[in-house]
Chains A and B, each alone.
Chain A
C-alpha cells in the first residue's frame, strides 16, 4: 500500500512550456485534491474531484487543468508555464470528503520552478 504517489519530485520549466504532474492513490479514495504551497504560505486548493469524471475548481484554478478518468489517477496539467506557478504542488486524497470520518492523505509533493 503506497498511499499517494506523485511524479516527478522536481522539475524546472521554461516560460511557456507545458507539463503534467502525476498523482496516483491506491486506497480507492473517491476524493482527490491538488494544492500549491508557496514559500512561507499555507496550502491553496487548485482543483478537487469527488469521483471519476467529476472535477471542480478550488481557490486558485487559473492556469491549470485537471481530469479524473479513473479513481486512482488525478493528473494536473500546466499548459503555458509562468514564473507565478513556481511552487510546491501537493496531491491529496480522502475516502469520503466529510469531516466526521475523513482524513486527507498527502503525497510527498512536486517542486516546480519556472524560469
Chain B
C-alpha cells in the first residue's frame, strides 16, 4: 500500500524568503504525486501534479516541485513567499494503473508567514 510522510508539521518563514516543504512517499511502482493547498475554512486546491516526464513540475501560484526517485521525495518549493501563501499544504500519492488513481494524503504542513 502507498503512504506519504510530511515530516514537518509547521514551517515558519518570513515574507520574501524561499520555501521548501518536504514530502516522502512509499510506493512500489512509479507514483502519481500531487501537492494541494488548503486555505482556512476552504476545500483543497490542486497546486501541481507529477505522473511522468520532466521531474521538475511547475504549478500555479509560482510553486514548483521536483520528483526524485532515488530519494522517494517530491518536495514543494517557492522562491519568494507571499503573506497570502499562509495555509495548510498536503502532499498526496496516487496508486493505480493506466492513469486511474485513488490518492493517499499526508497529514499536512502548516505554513506560517511572518511579515
A residues near B (Cβ < 8 Å) are 4, 40-45, 48, 58-59, 90, 92, 97-100, 103-109
Using Cβ atoms and an 8 Å threshold, which residues of chain B touch A109?
41-43
Residue in A closest to B9 when the chains form the complex, CB atoms: A40
Q: How far is the CA of A44 from the CA of B49 in the complex (A)?
A: 19
Given contacts A99-B32, A99-B49, A100-B51, contact A43 B44 (CB under 8 A): yes
Using Cβ atoms and an 8 Å threshold, which residues of chain A touch B42?
108-109
Q: How large is the interface on B (under 10, 10 to 19, 20 to 34, 35 or more residues)?
A: 20 to 34
Contact mask for chain B residues 50-78; partner A; CB cutoff 8 A; 1 contact, 0 none: 01000000000000000000000000000
| A99 & B107 in contact (Cβ 8 Å cutoff) | no
Q: Describe A's contact surface by its main secondary structure.
A: loop
| A42 & B4 in contact (Cβ 8 Å cutoff) | yes
Using Cβ atoms and an 8 Å threshold, which residues of chain B touch A92?
43-44
Q: Which 10 A-B pairs have the closest CB atoms?
A: A106-B43, A42-B105, A98-B99, A99-B32, A43-B105, A106-B44, A99-B51, A42-B107, A100-B99, A42-B106
Residue in A closest to B90 when the chains form the complex, CB atoms: A42
Using Cβ atoms and an 8 Å threshold, which residues of chain B touch A105?
43
Q: How far is the CA of A109 from the CA of B45 in the complex (A)?
A: 13
Given contacts A41-B107, A99-B51, contact A90 B44 (CB under 8 A): yes
